Amino acid sequence: MFKLLPDTPSERVTVLVDDVTVQVPPGYTAAAAMLMNTDEATRTTATSNQPRAPYCMMGVCFECLMEINGVPNQQGCLVIVSEGMRINRQQGKREINV
Amino acid sequence: MNQACDLAIIGAGPAGMAAALTAANRGVNVVVLDEQPEPGGQIYRGIERVERTRARHLEWLGPDYAAGANFVRAFRNAKIEYLDGAQVWQIEAPANDASPGRLFYKRNGAVGQLSPRRVLIATGAMERPMPIPGWTLPGVLTCGAGQTVFKANGLAPQGRFVLAGCGPLLLLYAAQLVRAGVKPAAILETTFNHGAALPHAWKFFTTPEYWRKGLALLRELKAAGVPLRKNVTQLVLHGDARVREIEYQCGGKTTREPVDQVFLHQGVVPNGNLAWSMNLAHAWDDAQRSFRPRLDEWGRSSTPGIFVAGDAGGIVGAKGAHATGRLAALAIAADLGKITIEGRDQQARTPRAELAKHQAARPFLDALYRPAPHWLAPQEADTMVCRCEEIRAGEIRRLVTEQLCPGPNQMKSFARCGMGPCQGRLCGLTVVELIAQCRGVPVPEVGYYRIRPPVKPVTMGDLATLDVPVRPDAVGL
Amino acid sequence: MADFDAIVVGGGLVGTAVAYGLARRGRKAVVLDEGDIAHRASRGNFGLVWVQSKGFGVPEYQRWTRRSSEDWGAFSAQLQKETGIASGHERPGGVTLCLTEEELDKRRRMMAQLHLEAGETNFEYEILDHAQTKKLIPAIGPQVVGASYTRYDGAANPLYTLRALHAALLQHGGRYVPNARVEHINAAPNQFSITINGTTYAAPRLVLGAGLGNKALGEKVGLNVPVRPVRGQIIVTERVAPVLPMPTLMIRQTVEGTIMIGESREDAGWIDTTTPEIVHTLAERAVKTFPFLRDVRIVRTWAALRVMAPDGLPIYEQSRDFPGAFVCTCHSGVTLAAAHALHYAQYVIDGALPPELARFSTRRFDVQAAA
């Protein structure tokens, strides 16, 4: 959905977005990493499985909920990427493993 | 662990940083909590890294943004305890000076607690919801979101994109992109009431800083050949798994064209859930079409010991926020005996004059960029109002007209609207506008959601590990 | 002047249930309600339709509760048929989970006593050990030592129930008047009138279903209604996939998927805010009971004020000074909603409460006062 502008430093962090290895600049949020690497929904809603994607990027709308390192429903726009981070789309309600 | 301090400031934007600097310089022991990883607020998002590593981006983003670098540096260098990545989820009102209320926050996965003698809420602004058909589709973001990923991440939209709505941010973001070589397919301006702004124009022109900037942006966009459509109405976004087309009316003609991204904006409103959760008294600001906490000239709220500064107390803009932050800090320093009342009043002169200057521009801007009525209270029954619980305008209207639902709290009960993860942030104003319109009464008569802590998403485990006494007498079999 | 068969004061679960019952029987009923900000126990309710642990030492209450719980299915179906709104009622049985042997022992004694007191109503229950409980609800943690179970228990969505009652009331020709806080009542036997915002509502029957407001309103029609607020605090989580197959006394999963943790009980006067101490204590018990809850996110907490009589029982009475004036109040507005709609409304029409409700008369307070 978004592209990197020119004149950006070349340093990168490797993360997995939906199990695909991608490289993003350090300091990125998980939501920004998603926006850079997908054109479509980054979650489906817990209410009716509607497709949604990041909307406000400042922590108020909760549209960027994603599963980060196995923890569901994290606000992707507030989590900074780290090497090897696993970022997955949130599919509907979170599952509980008992 | 319950750390005592003189002053806790929530938010490290212009108001919070200015207040922290002013207070710290007067010997006040300050803790600043902010949920972002770096100081600067939304206005100076990512400024430290941009300055350090993306010199050309700094140029594209412009001098107002670049000015944040020195500000943030001063903040970093001052004797201030700054807690980055800290989400404040509850603040109790202080019982009295001897027993301050507790402040609860989450940081690095753990809960923390403070006992501040004074609290300054500087949570800034958020973009006013713009509920149009299709606004929940992936690929539709707020203008502010677009600008945020430019500042923080050096990202720009890809493909064919449009900016739609009203307010200065629309033009600013478009110009910043143009400078970076990324051209919007169009700017669709929904500004409709130029006439209403006219009476305030004279005062506006006494603030050259504002109108010169506006004109320069327009010239810049024109030179770049960005189509600017005015008086746009009937905005509709179409799509499936993402936005595909935008439809609108302009000059009596309906246009429907493909689009990859849409950036919506119709001004900003106080980011108010924390203030609401503390039951601070609020007033309806009709010019800004939003509620704001009732404050005195120092930013004192209705609750003793609790202050509000910056856009969180009513939209004043970055520079106005800076001034209100300093004023609140002076009052707090005097309250705590760090400066005299005379000293406070004397030192308040400069920020007060600054504030007056920036406030002079507000009435014109507020009138000119007042959102169109049909996007304050959407007319189409299918338009989503509560994005979380997926409650549409038609259902809300029906509950008012048919079931005489009197206000937003009963609406919450009846329809679940406002009950999702965003805790009503993205639907609150729309819901009260809709109810007011259907009931035929002014918005303040309708009221607002009752917001309760936690205002940030903590887990059950966080609550279970709080360092507070247990009450087995009140819970259990 | 607007003439009605009955004026109901209070638009919560209790008042609306009675008004709906009246309207369904062809009576012209008007509900006078407060506005958007009011102390509404109905809005803060936990939503159990609960039988076990109700009526300990008071068999009449056990029977009344059981009757309502038996009626709930039909009541819910009827509301859904009339309004299209599902109340979310389910009756899969319910458990009270115990975290210590002491709790389980106490529970065992209580259930035995209830069984004894049930008499011909019969009260079947089971005391389960950890393994048996885990079979019913696999998500329990190792600290759960056991549970009491009855098949009579269930839950409903109190908010959808309230919405459905409002909708059904209107469908049957009832009137709902919001922003109509009642301060004065003109009372004569079987003749009542209330003037609000310039309109006078008159009727031969008056039902006080105004919760905590009934205390002051009762005085105006010769009814002693000594209710006081008892604060309850509740936590609710984000929506999660189905994990709790049946409600438990303090933790249940709603049809939407959210999990509710509640409720505390404490005297806090009229203060209806939440407190970190109570929320902490609820959360601590919740994660001990269901360890998976540790990582689940909270969406909201809230507090509401229960409407509590000194002995915790409902208050049902007709005024002796002003026949035709009834009070209907309790702290189990959800559980008893069916009984109020299906039966209490008929008693109001009949102009007499039946002997089985005598135990809930205000006379018991006279006795208490004399003693």
Q: With H, G, I as helix, E, B as strand and everything else as coil, classify residue B195.
A: helix
At residue B331, what are phi and psi to the nearest 5 degrees? Answer: -60, -40
> In degrees to the nearest 10, what's the CA dihedral of C130, C132, C137, C142?
20
Q: Does B377-446 match B3-126+269-339 at the fold level?
A: no
At B99 the pLDDT is 73
- Set of chain C residues whose Cβ sits within 8 Å of the Cβ of A73: 238, 297
Starting at the edge strand found earlier in the chain, the sheet holding C205-208 runs C175-177, C29-32, C6-9, C205-208, C325-329, C315-318
Of C138, C240, C256, the CB nearest to A94: C240
pLDDT tens-digit readout, B125-166: 999 999 999 999 999 999 999 999 999 999 999 999 999 999
- Taking residues A70-81, report their average pLDDT: 96
What is the sign, positive or negative, of the torsion defined by CA atoms of B390, B393, B395, B396? positive
CA distance B324 to B309: 5
Q: Where are the alpha helices (DSSP H) in C246-315?
A: 276-289
Q: Which of A70, A73, A97, A72 is nearest to A86 (CA)?
A: A70
The least confident of B298-307, C37-46, C348-357 is: C37-46
Tell me which residue of B140, B147, B156, B83 sits closest to B116, measured CA to CA: B83
Contacts of B464 (CB under 8 A, 6+ apart): C280, C283, C284, C286, C287, C294
Mean pLDDT (whole number) for A16-42: 95
* B391's tokens: 């409650």
Please, are residues C257 and A46 in contact by the beta-carbon 8 Å criterion? yes
Contact by Cβ (8 Å): B349, B363: no
First to last CA, chain B: 30
| CA–CA separation, C12 and C31 (whole Å) | 10
Tell me: domain C2-51+159-227+311-370, CATH 3.50.50.60, correct? yes
Closest Cα to residue B232, out of B261, B205, B199, B255? B255
The structural domains of chain A, with segments of one domain joined by +, span: 13-90
Asked if residue B337 lies in contact with residue B322, where contact means CB atoms within 8 angstroms, the answer is no
For domain B3-126+269-339, give the CATH number: 3.50.50.60
d(CA B382, CA B374): 13
Find all residues with CB under 8 Å of B290, minimum gap 6, and list them. B128, B269, B270, B284, B315, B429
Chain A (3-42) residues lying within 8 Å, Cβ to Cβ, of chain C = none
Q: Does C280 sit within 8 Å of B470, measured CB to CB?
A: yes
Comparing CB atoms, the residue among C282, C283, C297 nearest residue B457 is C297
Average pLDDT for C274-303: 96
Q: How many CB atoms lie within 10 A of CB B96?
A: 8
Mutate to test the interface with A, among B44, B155, B243 (most CBs of A within 10 A): B155
- CB contact B457 to C (< 8 Å): yes
> Under a CB-based contact definition with an 8 Å cutoff, are residues B421 and A65 in contact?
yes
- Only one residue has tokens 């179906």, namely C77
Q: Residue B222's CB: how many other CB atoms inside 10 A?
A: 11
The Cα of C348 is separated from the nearest Cα of chain B by a number of Å equal to 25
Phi-psi map region of B62: left, alpha, beta (phi>0 left; psi -120 to 50 alpha): left
Average pLDDT over every residue of C343-362? 97
Contacts of B126 (CB under 8 A, 6+ apart): A56, A58, A60, B144, B268, B269, B270, B271, B425
Cβ separation A5–B387 shorter than 8 A: no
How does DSSP assign C122-161, residue by residue?
----EEEEHHHHHHH-TT--TT--EEEEETT-EE--HHHH
Q: Give me the residues of chain B with pLDDT under 70, please.
A: 1, 97-98
Pairing state of beta strands C6-9 and C29-32? Answer: parallel
**A-to-B residue pairs, Cβ atoms closer than 8 angstroms:** 139
Of B53, B156, B426, the CB nearest to A2: B156
Mean pLDDT of chain C, nearest integer: 95
Q: Give the Cα-Cα-Cα angle C40, C44, C46 (nearest 5 degrees).
A: 140
Supply the angle between the helices A30-37 and B143-153 in degrees, to the nearest 10: 100
Identify the pLDDT of residue B405: 95
What tens digit of pLDDT does each residue of C44-80 get?
889 999 999 889 899 999 999 999 999 999 999 999 9
The answer as to CATH 3.10.20.740 being correct for domain A13-90 is yes
Count the Cβ atoms, other than its own, within 10 Å of residue B345: 14
By Cβ distance, the residue of B406, B466, B474 closest to C179 is: B406
Long-range contact list for A85-88, CB < 8 A, 24+ apart?
A85/A13, A85/A15, A85/A16, A85/A30, A86/A15, A86/A16, A86/A19, A87/A15, A87/A16, A87/A17, A87/A18, A87/A30, A87/A33, A87/A34, A88/A17, A88/A18, A88/A19
Query: Superfamily assignment of C228-308 in CATH?
Result: D-Amino Acid Oxidase, subunit A, domain 2 (3.30.9.10)
Q: Which two tokens stand for residue B477?
A: 């079999």
* Closest Cα in chain C to B113: C276
Question: CA quadruple C71, C77, C81, C82: dihedral positive or negative?
Answer: positive
**Given a cut of 60, is residue C370 above it in pLDDT?**
no
Can you tell me whether residue B399 is helix, strand or coil?
Answer: helix
User: Omega into B454 within 30° of 0, i.e. cis?
Assistant: yes
Domain boundaries, chain C: 2-51+159-227+311-370, 94-150, 228-308
Contact B471, C278 (CB under 8 A): yes
Relative orientation angle of helices C158-171 and B408-415, to the nearest 10 degrees: 100
Q: Are B267 and B144 in contact (CB under 8 A)?
A: no
From residue C24, alpha-carbon distances to C27, C85, C173, C341 in Å are: 7, 17, 9, 9
Residues of chain B neighbouring C301 (CB-CB closer than 8 A): 452-454
Q: Provide CATH code, domain B377-446.
A: 1.10.10
Say how far apart CA C337 and CA C76 lie, in whole Å: 10
Quick one: how far is CA B156 from the chain centroid?
A: 22
Question: What residues form DSSP beta bridges with B91?
Answer: B103
Looking at the complex, does the CB of residue A83 fall below 8 Å from at least one CB of chain B?
A: no
Q: What is the number of CB-based contacts under 8 A between chain A and chain C?
A: 31
The tokens describing C236, both together, are: 């609710």
Task: Quote the longest CA-to-CA distance of chain B.
Answer: 73
Q: CATH classification of B129-266 is 2.40.40.20, yes or no?
A: no
Q: What is the pLDDT of residues C228-245, one digit of tens each?
A: 999 999 999 999 999 999
- Is pLDDT at C368 greater than 70 in this prediction? no
Query: Any long-range contacts for B43-50 (C-beta under 8 Å, 24+ apart)?
Result: B43/B13, B43/B14, B43/B68, B43/B318, B44/B13, B44/B14, B44/B68, B44/B69, B44/B71, B44/B72, B44/B151, B45/B148, B45/B151, B45/B152, B46/A27, B46/B151, B46/B152, B46/B153, B47/B72, B47/B151, B48/B72, B49/A27, B49/B152, B50/B151
The kind and range of the H/E element at B344 are helix B341-347
Domain boundaries, chain B: 3-126+269-339, 129-266, 377-446
Partner-chain residue, chosen from B144, B153, B241, that has the shortest CB–CB distance to A58: B144
Residue C82 CA to residue C60 CA, distance in Å, equals: 31
Count, in order, helices (H) and strands (E) of chain A. 1, 8
- Burial pattern B4-38, b for ≥16 Cβ within 10 A else e, equals ebbbbbbbbbbbbbbbbbbbbebebbbbbbbbbeb
Q: Which of B109, B235, B119, B215 is nearest to B171 (CA)?
A: B215
CA gap B9, B202 in Å, rounded = 37
Band (C371; pLDDT cuts 50, 70, 90):
low
* Alpha-carbon gap: B375 to the closest alpha carbon of chain A (Å): 18
Helical (H) or strand (E) element with B121: strand B110-121
Residues ≥6 apart with Cβ < 8 Å to C120: none
| Per-residue confidence (pLDDT) for residue B93, from 0 to 100 | 83
Mean pLDDT of C181-191: 97
- In angstroms, rounded to a whole number, what is the distance separating the alpha carbons of residues C38 and C161? 18
* SS3 state of residue B124: coil
Closest CA to B428 of B389, B380, B381: B389
Residue where the block lists tokens 């409709």? B192
